[in-house]
Amino acid sequence: MTLYCLNPACPDPNNPNTHNYCQGCGQELSKTTQGYLFGDRYIIKQVLGEGNFGRTYLVEDQNFHNRKRVLKKFIANLQGKGLETAKELFKREANILDTLKHEQIPAIYDHFEENNSLYLVEEYIDGDDLVTEFEQQGIFSEDKIKSLLKDLLPVLDYLHQKNLLHRDIKPDNIMRRRYDGKLILIDFGGVKEVSNTRGTLIYTPGYAAIEQMTGHPQPASDIYSLGVTCIRLLTGCFPGDDNENDPIYDSSQATWLWQEYLEKEEIKISDQLSHILNKMLEHLAPNRYHNVKEILENLQESPTYIQPVETSTNLPISEPQKSSAYDLISVIAKPQIFLLVTCFNGSIIIAWLIKYFLYPSSSKPLLLWEKIINYVTLLSVFIILFSFLSYLIFLIKNKNKLPTTIKRTFLASPNHSLKNTQITPTSSNPLKTQKTNSQIPATPSNLSNNHSTIKPTT
C-alpha cells in the first residue's frame, strides 16, 4: 500500500508503506498517512487543500461502499473557553448546513469531534472550480456570464429565503459538476444567519462588499460578491494576495473600472448585462438589487446593442415590404407562372374528364388509385381557381404597371439595361441643354435625384 503524506507543501507525497518518514518532506508518516481512519469510517486518500481554519481531505466512506466524500478538519487555535465557544459555533453551523437540501449545494452527511478536532463530512463534487475553468478556456463570454447568473441566482435565493448568507462567493467556491455542467456553490464554512449583531469577519479581499468587511453582512453582500465574480471572469483580472494594483477597481474612489477595461480590450457586451452588473456592484447596499428575483427578471428582458447609423447619399431605393400572401399572389400572377400552373393542372382535369367519359363509374367501390386520381383532380381545380383569382387581384392592384410588366417580360432581352439613356434635367433655365452620356451607370444615387428624369433613347 502507498502511504500518502498529508503535508500540502510536500513535493513528493507518495511513499512506500515501509517508510516511517516522508521521503519528500521528512514528516512522520503516522496518523497523517493514507489509510488512517477518521471517525472509524473515513479513509484518507489525499489532501485537497488547506486554509487558515483547517484542512480538506478526499476520503472514502467505508459504511457506503467506499463512496468518495470530502472531509473538512476544523483547526481552532484556541484554548479554554474560546475553544468551547468555537466548538459550539461549529456544531450550530453544522446543524444549519444539515438543513440545506438543494441540488446545487453539497449535501452534509456527518459531523463529529475526534481528538479535540472538529470534522465535517460532505458530498464530493466531481468537477472543476471556475478558476480552473478560466485557466483552461480563457475569459468568459457574455452568454457564459448570463448562464452563470441564471444558474447560481436561484441557489442564492434559496439561501436568503432561509435567512442564511454564504459570505464567501468567488470563482474558487463555484464548481461545474462534470456529468451535467451544473454550477455548484461550495465552501459553506462562512455560512451565517442574517442578524443585526456584528459577526465574525469572514470574507475574501477583492470580492467582499463594504458592509461585510465591517461585520454587517446582508443578502445584498452575496449579490455584490457574485457581481464581482462575474466581472473577474469577464475581464480575467483577479485580485492579488495584498489586493493592491487591481486594474479594474479604484480603491481611492471606491469605483469599479471594469467597463473601461473591456473597452480598452475591445470586448463588447450588451447594455442589459452592463446595467445588471453595475447595479449588483453598487458601493452602498441600499442601491443594489433588493433580492435576486429582480436580477432574474432583468435577465429575461431582451438585450439591446447600440448599432452605428450609416449616413450616405448613395442609399439604395427600397420598396415597401409586402406581406407573404401578397408575395405569393405576385409570383403566381406572373404570366409564365400563371400559364404553367394553368396548363399543368388543366391537363390533369382533362385526363380525368377523358377517364370519366370513357370509363363511366360503376356501383363497385373505387380502387385506391381511382381515389387518388379524384383527389388530385379536385386539388387541381382549386389550384386553377386560386391562380385565376390571384391574377385578377394582381391586375386590380397593379393596373397601371401590368402592361409594362408584361411587355418587359415578353419583349425585353436578358441583357436589357439602362445603358443607353438620356438624363434630361428638368430646369426652368431654357439655356441648359440635354446631356447624353452612355457610360453613366444606373446607380442608386442617379435614380434618387428628384430633379432629373430618365428617358430611354430611341
3-state secondary structure of 144: helix
**Side-chain-side CA neighbours of residue 101 (13 Å):** 1
Let me know if residue 361 belongs to a domain.
yes
What local confidence, expressed as pLDDT, does residue 228 receive?
Answer: 97
Which of 123, 147, 171 is the C-terminal boundary of a domain?
123
Place of cell 449616413: 311
d(CA 80, CA 429): 110
Return the ∠ at Cα 69 (arms to 188 and 241), rounded to 5°: 45
Place of cell 381511382: 370
143 and 200 in a single domain? The answer is yes
d(CA 79, CA 76): 8
Q: Which cell numbers hold the place of 54?
A: 483547517
227 and 273 in a single domain? The answer is yes
Q: Which pairs count as long-range contacts for 281-290, CB under 8 Å and 24+ apart, including other chains?
A: 281/224, 281/227, 281/228, 281/231, 281/256, 282/224, 283/210, 283/254, 283/255, 284/210, 285/209, 285/211, 285/218, 285/220, 285/221, 285/224, 286/220, 288/220, 288/223, 288/224, 289/220, 289/223, 290/220
What local confidence, expressed as pLDDT, does residue 414 receive?
Answer: 43
Which of 123, 141, 158 is the C-terminal boundary of a domain?
123
**How many other CB atoms sit within 10 Å of the CB of residue 287?**
10
Let me know if residue 429 belongs to a domain.
no
Enclosing domain of residue 333: 324-411
162 and 241 in a single domain? The answer is yes
What local confidence, expressed as pLDDT, does residue 304 receive?
Answer: 56
d(CA 401, CA 394): 10
- As a three-state string, the secondary structure of 170-213 is CHHHEEEECCCCCEEECCCCCCEECCCCCCCCCCCCCCCCHHHH
Contact 214, 252 (CB under 8 A): no
DSSP 121: E
3-state secondary structure of 99: coil
What local confidence, expressed as pLDDT, does residue 208 receive?
Answer: 94
Contact 395, 402 (CB under 8 A): yes
Let me know if residue 399 belongs to a domain.
yes
What local confidence, expressed as pLDDT, does residue 171 receive?
Answer: 97
119 and 256 in a single domain? The answer is no
348 and 335 in a single domain? The answer is yes
What local confidence, expressed as pLDDT, does residue 419 receive?
Answer: 39
Pairing of strands 37-38, 42-50: antiparallel
295 and 354 in a single domain? The answer is no
Which of 123, 141, 162 is the C-terminal boundary of a domain?
123
Digit-by-digit pLDDT tens for the chain (458 residues) are 567 676 656 777 777 777 788 888 887 776 455 556 788 899 888 888 776 567 888 999 999 888 999 998 886 666 667 677 777 777 877 888 889 999 999 999 998 888 778 899 999 999 999 999 999 999 999 999 999 999 999 999 999 999 999 999 999 999 999 999 999 999 887 666 665 656 667 789 999 999 999 999 999 999 999 999 999 999 999 987 655 678 999 988 899 999 999 999 999 999 999 999 999 999 999 999 999 999 999 999 766 544 444 444 444 444 444 444 545 555 555 666 666 767 776 777 777 677 666 666 666 666 676 677 777 777 777 777 777 777 777 666 655 544 444 444 444 444 444 334 343 344 444 333 333 343 434 333 333 344 333 334 33
348 and 287 in a single domain? The answer is no
Comparing CA positions, the residue from 36, 354, 344, 299 lying closest to residue 152 is 299
d(CA 109, CA 38): 14
Length of the chain in residues, anyone?
458
Domains in the chain: how many in total? Answer: 3
240 and 378 in a single domain? The answer is no
d(CA 316, CA 305): 24
142 and 272 in a single domain? The answer is yes
Q: Which cell numbers hold the place of 18?
A: 515501509
Contact 124, 82 (CB under 8 A): no
**How many other CB atoms sit within 10 Å of the CB of residue 230?**
24
139 and 95 in a single domain? The answer is no
Place of cell 487591481: 246
What local confidence, expressed as pLDDT, does residue 127 receive?
Answer: 95
**What pTM, to 2 d.p., does this model score?**
0.61
Q: Which cell numbers hold the place of 204?
A: 475574501
Let me know if residue 14 belongs to a domain.
no
Let me know if residue 404 belongs to a domain.
yes
Q: What Å distances lie between residue 137 and 132, 140, 152, 178, CA to CA? A: 9, 8, 20, 15
The CATH code of the domain that includes 257 is 1.10.510.10
What local confidence, expressed as pLDDT, does residue 317 receive?
Answer: 41
The catalytic residues are 168
Let me know if residue 437 belongs to a domain.
no
Let me know if residue 252 belongs to a domain.
yes
3-state secondary structure of 408: helix
64 and 78 in a single domain? The answer is yes
Let me know if residue 113 belongs to a domain.
yes
SS3 content of the chain, % helix, strand, coil (to 5): 40, 15, 45
DSSP 166: -
Q: Which amino acid is at 48?
A: L
279 and 156 in a single domain? The answer is yes
3-state secondary structure of 136: helix
Tell whether 31 is in a known binding site.
no
